[in-house]
Amino acid sequence: MKNKHLKVFLDGTEFDVEVQAVDAHGLEVSVNGRLYKVEFEDLDEAALIPVIAPTAPAGPGGPLRAPMPGDVTQVMVKTGDEVGVGQELLVLEAMKMKNVLRAPRAGRVAAVDVAAGQSVAHGDVLVRFEE
Amino acid sequence: MTTLEQGLFLSALGMGLTFAALAVVILLILLLQGLFPARRPVHKPIHAPRYAAAERERQAAIAAAVWYLSTQMQARSKVDAALGQRLESGPGPYWQSSRMDDA
Amino acid sequence: MSKRTDPAPDDRLDELESKRRQAEQAGGEERIAAQHKKGKLTARERLGILLDPGSLNEIDPYRAHRHHAFGLDEQRYPGDSVVTGFGRVDGRMLAVYAQDFTVLGGSFSEVQGQKVARLLDLALDAGVPVVGLMDSVGARIQEGVYSLAAFSELFWRNTQASGIVPQISVMLGPCAGGSVYSPGLTDFVIMAEGSNMFITGPKVIETVTGEKVGLDELGGAGVHNGISGVAHFAAASEQEALALTRKLLGYLPANNAEPPPRRAPADDPQRMETALNSLVPGDPSEAYDIRAVIELVFDRGSFLEVHAGFAQNAVVGFVRLHGAVVGVLANQPMVKAGVLDIDASDKLARFIRFCDAFNIPLATFVDTPGFLPGVREEHGGIIRHGAKIVYAYSEATVPKLAVITRKAYGGAYIVMSSKYIRTDLVYAWPTAEIAVMGAEGAVEILYADKLKGRPDKAEAEKDYVDAFRAEFGSPYAAAASGHVDDVIRPEETRPKLIAALELLRDKRVPSRPRKHGNIPL
């Protein structure tokens, strides 16, 4: 694509377009001898990342338990908060990844048993809900 | 001729003359319009120097965009035109004959 | 000589009409009203929703039981506790049966067993799918051992038909005791809100173990979709469950000798989704939703997720690629970091085997850091369960494609449709990291001696990790040794997979005769 040379006619006016550099976001062109930096923004891109509702695992009552051993790095809710299904509750760092744990059902937080910086084991109770 | 007939004749004559004169005037107007057509009012574009530069830049950007898209389209024409065609009909005899193998 | 007065033909027709009315009334108006009051539909109403209008051909509507014990001779209904027949869904034929709760609670009886067994025999001979609508209190105790025999006839036929015609069970009411094994044997179980399944009920459980538990908490739709994995789909209502059945059938062939049904492609095969190029976050500790990848690559709107609530660290489901049905499997980095564990292994393996049985090609998206470590998993038999995935992929002879989007470490990399277990084409994105293990873990082992007791241990470790990642944290080392067939831009995934699927359209693989393998269970 580089150094491609084209004549572009716009409303009868002639432009001499030559590309000097191309990257993922735009290009440098010389048009009739003058250098311009052109950037592109793909408007389709932002719109088309499908937003799929997080399906929290359907299950009966019970607290949110740690799905794997790890470290709690962030707690986003506190006692008394009303949460909806799939709402982010806390971040568990495990397997070198930040795992966002979400509410399995809508309800009010009865207690948050862990704090940021705490290590948890598989199955440890993290957040309890009001029944 | 009777008096009435005379009167009617004179009226017709008069009207005819009047309309003929009107026709002549109209023809004269048309003739003059043809010879001297109306000129459109002259638009004096505002050619302030800054405006001209911005306009050039805008056009250059358009030119660059047109170039970019045209290369994209050219690149596209190099893609597989028949992509997907084989999936539009089902598996052929090569697969179907294997149905017999699995007894 | 008295003259016999034979009933005139019209009278005979009237007689048939009245018998038909009686059969359609099933357990009687009162019981139908009771069913409606509970918010439930009758068997025939459900079949009316499931099937194309007017397409139901009922068989055995006059079959009745022959028992007398416990007052059964007063409760003899034509057709007994099930409606059986064949009809169409979207023009395609299938066999159906619907348990009739208005007749003796839909209890499983000798006649019900006979009717359903007859239907399954017919379906197997004809090569059409079988859909069962379940709503029953369980075995008809009054009939004693006869009802048990009836169950077994059904289970045997479920097994004979397994892998030959698709079988779907739709739970629209209770299902308890032995009868749950029929849905347990079928390919897909759809549970409507309010239905439940269990072997032993709350009362017996309380007597034996002392645990107090409610019907829904023990075996409701939520439990089986989210915890036990017995159900593959959850529906908010009966109508939704039946609509879902129709949708599911649209992806499945009628029998194992047919390819799955094709649709006219409505989506551009050349579509390059630039959104895919930036979907994988630069930070390897950040997650992304693999379902977004699936939605973008395959035909728009064609993704039907299966087992959505169970083992969410893996994703399986049906999609269409240029109109052709494909079974898609993937790790879900957003849940449990995308690790493989016992439940995810079971979920993946079962889906692979279903698709292989029914000529549905497989496409796998790989982003997993490995198997879940821990005593719990090890003692739970992760070895046995993980082995199921390898077995299923290795045994499958349908076209197999794979795309490695990010992490592919060690054993998990091997089991997730790697090249050497005979995946036909493996593609890697530039963000792929194919390695024996993650950089940090590898450095700890490989450079243990060099790092021991150094004052600048953290610094040195970081340098080693960066170097390791630079060399192995990319797909090129794997590409150089032939582990992947090509490295592609994410936006190219769709056209690449379509071309690959086209190549493999007629794939056939010779098989060695054996009765069957011994998949670890």
CA C112 – CA C103 distance, rounded (Å): 11
The answer to whether position C351 is within a domain reads yes
Residue C470 annotated as catalytic = no
Closest chain B residue by Cα to residue C497:
B84
**Given its phi and psi angles, is residue C430 left (phi above 0), alpha (psi -120 to 50 degrees) or beta?**
alpha
C131/C482: higher pLDDT: C131
Portion of chain C with pLDDT greater than 90, in percent: 69
Cite the beta strand spans of C45-81 per DSSP E: 57-59
**CA B25 to chain CA mean position, Å:** 38
Pair C170, C237 in one domain:
yes
Nearest Cβ partner for A95 among C221, C310, C339: C339
Backbone angles phi, psi at A107, to 5 degrees: 165, -170
- Domains and their CATH numbers in chain A: 5-43 (no CATH), 64-129 (2.40.50.100)
Instruction: Name chain B's partners: 3 or more CB pairs within 8 A.
Output: A, C
Is C369 in a helix, a strand, or coil? coil
Pairing of strands C57-59, A119-120: unpaired
Pair C181, C324 in one domain:
no
The answer to whether position C219 is within a domain reads yes
In the A/C pair of chains, how many CB contacts fall below 8 A? 91
- Of C485, C478, C481, C333, which is closest to residue C403 (Cα–Cα)? C485
Neighbours of B28 (CB within 10 A): 10
In angstroms, what separates the C-alpha of B83 from chain A's closest C-alpha? Answer: 23
Q: pLDDT tens digits, residue range C200-255? A: 999 999 999 999 999 988 999 989 998 999 999 999 999 999 999 999 999 999 99
The answer to whether position C484 is within a domain reads yes
Pair C468, C483 in one domain:
no
C-alpha distances in Å from residue A95, one per residue of A77, B80, B94, C285, C437: 23, 41, 46, 9, 11
Structure tokens at C52: 């194309």
Which domain covers residue C58, as residue numbers? 15-249
Pair C341, C208 in one domain:
no
Instruction: Name chain A's partners: 3 or more CB pairs within 8 A.
Output: B, C
pLDDT of res. B103: 44
Mean pLDDT of C442-449: 87
Pair C92, C222 in one domain:
yes
Structure tokens at C506: 């007629």
Nearest Cβ partner for A60 among C223, C278, C292: C223
pLDDT of res. C452: 83
Which chain B residues are Cβ-neighbours of C511 within 8 angstroms? 101-102
Q: pLDDT tens digits, residue range C300-340? A: 999 999 999 999 999 999 999 999 999 999 999 999 999 99
CA C187 – CA C252 distance, rounded (Å): 11
Neighbours of C336 (CB within 10 A): 28
Structure tokens at C448: 């243990």
In angstroms, what separates the C-alpha of C517 from chain B's closest C-alpha? Answer: 15
Partner B contacted by C510 (CB < 8 A)? yes
Digits of tens for pLDDT over chain B (103 positions)? 689 999 999 999 999 999 999 999 999 999 999 888 777 666 655 555 666 777 777 777 777 777 767 666 666 666 788 899 999 988 888 888 776 555 4
The answer to whether position C255 is within a domain reads no
Cite the beta strand spans of C264-313 per DSSP E: 304-306
Pair C406, C454 in one domain:
no
C-alpha distances in Å from residue C235, one per residue of B73, C189, C220, C243, C348: 46, 11, 12, 9, 22
Residue C8 annotated as catalytic = no
Long-range contacts of C385-388 (CB under 8 A, 24+ apart): C385/C342, C385/C345, C385/C346, C385/C349, C385/C520, C386/C340, C386/C345, C386/C411, C386/C415, C387/C520, C388/C345, C388/C346, C388/C348, C388/C349, C388/C519, C388/C520, C388/C521
Query: Chain B residues within 8 A (CB-CB) of chain A?
Result: 57, 59-68, 70-71
Which chain A residues are Cβ-neighbours of C406 within 8 angstroms? none
Residue C229 annotated as catalytic = no
Mean pLDDT of C336-356: 96
pLDDT of res. B40: 66
**Given its phi and psi angles, is residue C20 left (phi above 0), alpha (psi -120 to 50 degrees) or beta?**
alpha
Which chain C residues are Cβ-neighbours of B85 within 8 angstroms? 502
Which range, of B82-91, B93-102, C134-143, C482-491, averages the lowest pLDDT?
A: B93-102
- Of C133, C124, C85, C86, which is closest to residue C106 (Cα–Cα)? C133
Sorted by sequence, the CB contacts under 8 Å of residue C471 that are 6+ apart come out as C477
The answer to whether position C66 is within a domain reads yes
8 A C-beta contact, residue A74 and residue A116: yes
CA C77 – CA A34 distance, rounded (Å): 92
Name the DSSP class of C108. B
Pair C457, C497 in one domain:
no
Dihedral through CA C243, CA C248, CA C249, CA C250, nearest 10? 100
Pair C201, C292 in one domain:
no
Neighbours of C143 (CB within 10 A): 25
The answer to whether position C512 is within a domain reads no
Nearest Cβ partner for C323 among B88, B91, B98: B88
SS (HEC) of B65-85: HHHHHHHHHHHHCCCCCCCCH
Number of folded domains in chain C?
A: 3
CA C36 – CA C25 distance, rounded (Å): 14
Pair C66, C92 in one domain:
yes
Structure tokens at C470: 């630079």
Write down which residue in C249, C266, C296 finishes a domain.
C249
- Name the catalytic one among C178, C184, C222, C380: C178
8 A C-beta contact, residue A96 and residue C443: no
The answer to whether position C265 is within a domain reads no
pLDDT band at C5 (very low <50, low <70, confident <90, very high): low
Cβ separation B64–A31 shorter than 8 A: yes
Backbone angles phi, psi at A68, to 5 degrees: -160, 160
C-alpha distances in Å from residue C256, one per residue of C90, C164, C359: 19, 5, 7
Check which CATH number belongs to the domain holding C416 and give it.
3.90.226.10
Pair C451, C395 in one domain:
no
Structure tokens at C346: 């079971």
pLDDT band at C461 (very low <50, low <70, confident <90, very high): confident
8 A C-beta contact, residue B1 and residue B9: yes
pLDDT of res. A60: 58
Q: Which helix (H) or strand (E) holds C37?
A: helix C29-37
Closest chain C residue by Cα to residue B97:
C508
Pair C342, C468 in one domain:
no
Name the DSSP class of C414. H
Pair C153, C197 in one domain:
yes
Pairing of strands C362-368, C425-428: unpaired
CA C299 – CA C349 distance, rounded (Å): 24
Digits of tens for pLDDT over chain A (131 positions)? 445 677 777 777 777 877 777 665 667 777 777 787 777 665 554 445 555 555 555 555 678 888 888 999 999 998 888 888 778 899 999 988 899 998 878 888 888 989 999 999 988 899 988 86
8 A C-beta contact, residue C429 and residue C509: no
8 A C-beta contact, residue C433 and residue C406: yes
Closest chain B residue by Cα to residue C357:
B102
Mean pLDDT of C17-31: 88
Q: Which residues pair with A9 in a beta bridge?
A: A14
Cβ separation B59–A19 shorter than 8 A: no
The answer to whether position C3 is within a domain reads no
Name the DSSP class of C70. G
Structure tokens at C354: 């279903």
Q: pLDDT tens digits, residue range C405-439? A: 999 998 999 999 899 999 999 999 999 999 888 88
pLDDT of res. A1: 42
Average pLDDT, chain C: 92
- Of C188, C294, C193, C201, which is closest to residue C235 (Cα–Cα)? C193
C7/C130: higher pLDDT: C130
Highest mean pLDDT among C3-7, C270-274, C422-426: C422-426
In angstroms, what separates the C-alpha of C236 from chain A's closest C-alpha? Answer: 12
Cite the beta strand spans of C375-420 per DSSP E: 400-409
**Given its phi and psi angles, is residue C425 left (phi above 0), alpha (psi -120 to 50 degrees) or beta?**
beta
CA C198 – CA C224 distance, rounded (Å): 10
Mean pLDDT of C377-395: 95
